[in-house]
Amino acid sequence: MGAKPRNIALIVAAGRGHRVGGPLPKQYRKLCGRSILSHSVLAFAAHPAVSAVRVVIHPSDEALYQDALSTLDTNKLLSPVNGGATRQDSVRLGLESLAEDAPDAVLIHDGARPLVSGAVIARSLEALQENIGAIAALPLSDSLKRATPDGKMIDNDVARDGLWRAQTPQTFRFADILAAHRAAEGQNATDDAGVAERHGIAVALVAGDEENIKITTEADMTRAEQILHDRSGGAPAGEQTWRVKVGLGYDVHRFAEDGDHLMLCAVRVPFERGVASHSDGDVALHALVDAILGALGDGDIGVHFPPSDEKWRDAKSEIFVAHALKLLTARQGQLDHIDITLICERPKLSPYRDEMRGRLASLLGLPLSDISLKATTTERLGFTGRAEGIAAQAVATLRLPVTP
């Protein structure tokens, strides 16, 4: 039984493309929390037939490269090498960097194609059993038209029979493609298959993948994000995936005959009446706790803090909030956003809104931008309109880890 072939992926990422938008070259843009380039690297590093991965970068991108890839959990990543003025130069320089310890085969791939599948990689390598080179490609399905010189009118139809859309990886026996690139230095072929063909190498076609897109525009970014979400909940390979959960809470307390304040969002609001409640009667926090528990599917506040238990008489509602957050933490979840609506005819709450939002931010560990707090009336309708009590609705948005 012969030795296992040594196959190296050479990922070309030395371009300056900014058409996607933003100040960074597109390969360093974030896609679902990770750089486009790191998705491309991991696709090959995760494949059992790939021995190592080397990236060709622009000489000015060392810091961007380190930031994007230094934390990847793989022992297959070789140190990067600098590219040249053109893609063809960059590939040649990448191949030269491998020549001293030459692999059996090299898979040349665009760094801006982050969604290449393991099946495409496998097909590309299998083709080398009978061919010197092979490229992933898709047959054209759309009708083709040649335009007039001004680009405004159709000149004539172009037969699409036998026409294919080239993708990467473009995979070759190493010694042959290195010789082809050395011979083509200074020329400007559109891809590595073109370099090989000029050198007399016949290149096979293997089935590509419609999802193996090259990111060029913002629309491509949107499509790539959707593909990743469809594949794995939106998380890059090896990272935690999340499920968004939303809970709704509602609580109401009638006003008592005595008292001099209300507790709302853990803020003391002066008022001529208190509320009838077993605890401190903070209707906003009670609704919020029920919203968090609802998103967790863990009952309601009465289950965890029965009003029949004297232990909770006059208890501060911050205790209930802390308990709900503890349950969330135990599930390794995260609170993302809350939205609370207070419903009463009186008292007027707008003077206390900023203080209440600040208190909520402190209790929940959220920035103010993730805390919505509103107050409204019922136009004098119902028990709140008759100033008989106060109600609150709360919505909590959180994330829970998806377990395998």
CATH number at residue 309: 3.30.1330.50
Residues 210 and 252 in one domain: no
pLDDT at 117: 92
Say yes or no: 268 and 292 in one domain: yes
Pairwise CA distance, residues 384 & 349, whole Å: 14
**Which two three-digit tokens encode residue 98?**
């491998």
Query: Is the domain of 16 the same as that of 108?
Result: yes
Residues sharing a CB contact under 8 Å with residue 67, sequence separation 6 or more, in sequence order: 28
This prediction's pTM: 0.59
Query: Using alpha carbons only, how large is the chain's radius of gyration in Å?
Result: 31
Quote the pLDDT of residue 34: 83
Residue 221 lies in a domain: yes
Domain at 85, CATH number: 3.90.550.10
Longest dimension (CA), the chain: 97
Q: How far is CA 293 from CA 327, 340, 362, in A?
A: 8, 15, 19
Are residues 217 and 323 part of one domain?
no
Give me 81's structure tokens.
Answer: 């090498």
Number of domains in the chain: 2
- Coil, strand or helix at 249: strand
Which pLDDT tens digits describe the chain residue by residue (404 residues)? 457 789 999 999 998 765 554 567 889 988 877 889 999 999 999 999 999 999 999 999 999 999 888 778 789 999 999 999 999 999 999 999 999 999 999 999 999 999 999 999 999 999 999 999 999 999 988 888 888 888 888 888 888 888 899 999 999 999 999 999 999 988 888 899 999 999 999 999 999 999 999 998 888 888 888 888 777 654 444 455 678 899 999 999 888 888 888 889 989 889 888 787 777 889 999 999 999 999 988 888 888 887 777 777 778 888 899 989 988 888 878 888 999 999 998 888 888 899 999 889 888 888 888 899 999 988 889 888 788 889 999 999 998 876 54
Residues 222 and 174 in one domain: yes
The boundaries of the domain holding residue 94 are: 7-232
CA neighbor of 249 nearest in space, from 299, 287, 285, 193: 287
